[in-house]
Amino acid sequence: MQINERFKNKTAIVTGGADGIGKAIALRLGLEGARLAIFDINRERLEKTAKEFGEKGIEAKAYLTDISSEAQVAEAVSAVEKNYHQIDILVHAAGIVGPTSTKITEYSTNDFENIYRVNLKGTFLITKYTLKVMEKSGEGRILLFASMAGKEGNPGMIGYSSAKAGVIGLVKGAAKEFATTHITINGIAPAVIKTAMNEDTSPEQLAYMVAKIPMQRLGTVEEVAAMACFIVSDENSFSTGFIYDISGGRATY
């Protein structure tokens, strides 16, 4: 597939960009011309990815950031603005799965709070502070990662399902707040994608989720990256507040 320059002269923040889906999206954005600000909590992977991208001729800066910390998010976003004077794109892919194959009656409150802190509070924080920068130019594209679990609810994953449902609500509410600007806010709801994060999912839980996919396979990070990059491109100008499915046919609404 020929790579064009859809994102030339654009600055993109990608959270969770050191590995998995986030890394695949960052790579494609970079290959299509974007300057990258990669946020991640894993220093080793973050530095390795930034170096790897640099060797490919992609401009990429690493920002060690705990997405659930307001102080760290505010500082990192401010640093990106200082370095590049603009933020054109945000792809928020950072997140955790938490316990799987665990009934709500056995799900610890600490685990639930941790899922909320990273997956929902983190989404709120990165969206809030990025929008403050985008408001200055009046333009931007934001893509937040939800999940099929947030739309349909996965049993045994009550924390993850709840937090991702919250992300869907955040997308729809924030998008309406900025609908009269040139800032769009959309979400994407993957089914099971083949990533290292699946290593923390129990075989029973994974089998349950794959069985619900009519294509009977896992999605790939490259497939997610292709859709994500369209969503945050200038081509996608009349879509906001929408949750895009990438589910191999699982989506029912």
Three-state SS across 125-188?
A: HHHHHHHHHHHHHCEEEEEEECCHHHHHCCCCEHHHHHHHHHHHHHHHHHHHHCCCCEEEEEEE
- Check residue 214 and give its pLDDT: 87
| Residues of the chain falling short of pLDDT 70 | 1-3, 196-200, 252-253
- Check residue 3 and give its pLDDT: 63
Nearest residue to 170 (alpha-carbon basis) of 247, 243, 96 = 243
Between CA 4 and CA 8, with CA 5 as vertex, the angle to 5 degrees is 170
* Rg of the chain on CA atoms, in Å: 17
pTM score of the predicted model: 0.93
For CA atoms 11, 13, 19, 21, give the dihedral sign. Answer: negative
Rounded CA separation 78/88 (Å): 14
139, β-bridge pairs:
182
H/E segment holding residue 210: helix 203-211
- Check residue 140 and give its pLDDT: 98
Give 3-state DSSP helix, strand, coil % of the chain, rounded to 5.
50, 15, 35
Q: Which of 160, 208, 244, 253 is catalytic?
A: 160
**CATH number belonging to domain 11-245:** 3.40.50.720
Written as six digits, the tokens of 90 are: 């945000």
- Check residue 98 and give its pLDDT: 93
- Residue 13 is given by DSSP the state E
- Check residue 253 and give its pLDDT: 63
Rounded CA separation 183/193 (Å): 28
Strands 139-145, 60-64: pairing kind = unpaired
- Check residue 204 and give its pLDDT: 79
Nearest residue to 134 (alpha-carbon basis) of 176, 172, 81 = 81
User: 93 near 15, Cβ under 8 Å?
Assistant: yes
Domain ranges across the chain: 11-245
Q: Assign 22 to helix, strand or coil.
A: helix
Rounded CA separation 239/246 (Å): 16
107 is catalytic: no
**61 phi and psi, to 5 degrees?**
-110, 140
